[in-house]
Amino acid sequence: MSTTEPNLSISNPHPEDTDVIQKVALVVACFGVLILLAAWANVALDAAIFMPIAIISMIGGTTVYGARSYLKQPEGIKNNGVWHFSLTSRGAFAWAVGILLTGFYILLYWFPGYVGFVQSGENQGLVALFDPLSMAIKGRPASQWFMYGTLYTIAILALGMKFIFKYRHNRYQLIRTISVMIAQLVFAYTIPEILAALNYNDVTTTAGEYAGYYDADIKNVWPLDYDFFYSYHLDAMQEEAYQPVGMIYLIAGMALFLVGTPVLTYLIGKRWYCSWVCGCGGLAETAGDPFRHLSSKKLGAWKLERWLIHSVMIFVFVMTAVTLYGYFTGTSSVFGLDIYSKFQKPYGFFIGAIFSGIIGVGFYPMLGNRVWCRFGCPMAGYMGIIQRFKSKFRITTNGGQCISCGNCSTYCEQGIDVRAYAQKGQNIVRASCVGCGVCSAVCPRGVLKLENGPEEKRYDLPPIIIGNESVKISD
Ligand code: SF4
Ligand code: SF4
């Protein structure tokens, strides 16, 4: 056997054994995680020293491990063995990770004291580890959300590097991954924290007390950013002290929803947001990449997807409409229903916390990496309608080349049976497609191409018929 050819077989899905450099890199990355766990357990660590060590170890170790793992193999997609690993085949390891992630989110949302956040007084544990960074950026101790935002950004950067090495043969994957990494680091993390440092986005109560700061993440567009139109947010953005930044955010946020989103989705599909900008999509594409094959391709899942995502979209539209009604009329109820307890609170609890956070990320190892994007995100639902009925974006298929291997369907994170379209040579125009391009990247025959072209035949597209009926030529 040639030394450059990996020894692949069913019994040996790993091309080569882990070498010394990979093992050292893995130990370094794990050391970073160990620091986090030690801090969480309140081991006495100098946060100013150990926090940067933890961050550098996790990013550096993962990057070297990814580089070493993929660069020594020939270019091309490497998904060997995904159904053999416990973590990526819903085995015991996957369940353990899922339970840990889910538990972590529950603590973050409802029991932040258990991760070390102290409302008035000195932080403890994990949150305290991030105090020096928070103090350096904005002059105040960390909150559980600062800690979470930092870890989230680290995950996208570190695992984004791994993704880049894995998909290095595919220019589309390289560019869009660099794009989500920059979007997360600059627009979702750095700029909002710098604005917080300048006190631009502080929110005070009517009694003049500091009550936190509003989310200045400009790329988090309504309706994904569901509290954009809440009264405290609208008031804060109009406050004299925060001008002109406040008004810029207000106007830019509305323009993005009303003009930017439909125009961009018309021109290039919802991928401009879901696969190039969004933080949820960024985490799904990087940290969630090993789980993309777990998305259900069943017809029932497609039906459930359409019901759920559009229900959430209606929910956020109604909730926002009554919120704005209350804001402009000065009332706190509509048709006798309290706006906060009957609309805002249930949305924040069921959709904002449980669906997008706990299920959206915690269930990666069980349901795939785009559970939230596929079944819940109202922004994806809104763009999906435009993409389905009025957009230039489609995936074209050269059906004559298709060998029906099914790679495309397997790795479609949105559960689209891409192969069914490819076999018929039919363009793929689906509301749920996030334009990640992985179906095209894993196709061994170059059948699939993501294109923006004339938007013909959108309204009268034949339905996709699944099952034996699909092979009938005509009645
Ligand atoms: S159809 Fe292709 S581009 Fe669209 S979500 Fe699935 S894998 Fe990504
Ligand atoms: S990956 Fe390519 S060849 Fe395989 S089923 Fe899909 S379109 Fe056909």
Pocket flag, ligand 2, residue 18 (CB < 6 Å): no
Residue ID of nearest Cα to ligand 1 atom 8 = 436
Residue 364 in any domain: the answer is: no
Q: Which residues approach ligand 1 with their CB closer than 6 A?
A: 395, 412-414, 416, 418, 428, 433-439
Distance of CA 96 to the CA centre of its chain: 21
Residue ID of nearest Cα to ligand 2 atom 1 = 443
Q: How far is the CA of 411 from the centre of ligand 2 (A)?
A: 11
Residue 448 in any domain: the answer is: yes
Q: How far is the CA of 374 from the centre of ligand 1 (A)?
A: 11
Q: Which of 72, 368, 381 is nearest to 221 (CA)?
A: 381
- Of ligand 1's atoms, which has the minimum distance to the CA of residue 438? 7
Nearest ligand to the C-alpha atom of residue 428: 1
Pocket flag, ligand 2, residue 402 (CB < 6 Å): yes
Residue ID of nearest Cα to ligand 2 atom 4 = 405
- Token pair recorded at residue 29: 């990355």
Q: What is the residue range of 454's domain?
A: 393-471
Q: How far is the CA of 400 from the centre of ligand 1 (A)?
A: 20
Pocket flag, ligand 2, residue 418 (CB < 6 Å): yes
- Of ligand 1's atoms, which has the minimum distance to the CA of residue 411? 7
Residue ID of nearest Cα to ligand 2 atom 2 = 443
- Token pair recorded at residue 432: 């749920």
Residue 147 in any domain: the answer is: no
Distance of CA 75 to the CA centre of its chain: 26
User: Residue 353's pLDDT is what?
Assistant: 87
Pocket flag, ligand 2, residue 417 (CB < 6 Å): no
Residue 435 in any domain: the answer is: yes
Q: How far is the CA of 439 from the centre of ligand 2 (A)?
A: 8
User: Residue 2's pLDDT is what?
Assistant: 43
- Per residue in 39-58, pLDDT (tens digit) is 999 998 999 999 999 999 99
CB–CB of 128/47 below 8 Å?
A: yes
Pocket-testing residue among 272, 416, 443, ligand 1, by greatest number of atoms within 8 A of Cβ = 416
Q: How far is the CA of 413 from the centre of ligand 1 (A)?
A: 7
User: Residue 76's pLDDT is what?
Assistant: 83
Q: How far is the CA of 438 from the centre of ligand 1 (A)?
A: 6
Pocket-testing residue among 394, 412, 442, ligand 1, by greatest number of atoms within 8 A of Cβ = 412
The ranges of the chain with pLDDT < 70 are: 1-16, 199-220, 456-475
Residue 458: give its domain's CATH number: 3.30.70.20
- Per residue in 459-475, pLDDT (tens digit) is 555 555 554 454 444 44
Residue 129 in any domain: the answer is: no
Q: How far is the CA of 435 from the centre of ligand 1 (A)?
A: 5
User: Residue 201's pLDDT is what?
Assistant: 53
Residue 200 in any domain: the answer is: no
- What is d(CA 212, CA 223) in angstroms, rounded to the nearest whole number? 22
Residue 460 in any domain: the answer is: yes
| For residue 262, cis peptide bond before it (omega within 30 degrees of 0) | no
Pocket-testing residue among 405, 442, 450, ligand 2, by greatest number of atoms within 8 A of Cβ = 405
Residue ID of nearest Cα to ligand 1 atom 4 = 433
Residue 370 in any domain: the answer is: no
- Domain count for the chain: 1
Nearest ligand to the C-alpha atom of residue 398: 2
User: Residue 377's pLDDT is what?
Assistant: 94
- Per residue in 272-313, pLDDT (tens digit) is 999 999 999 999 999 999 999 999 999 999 999 999 999 999
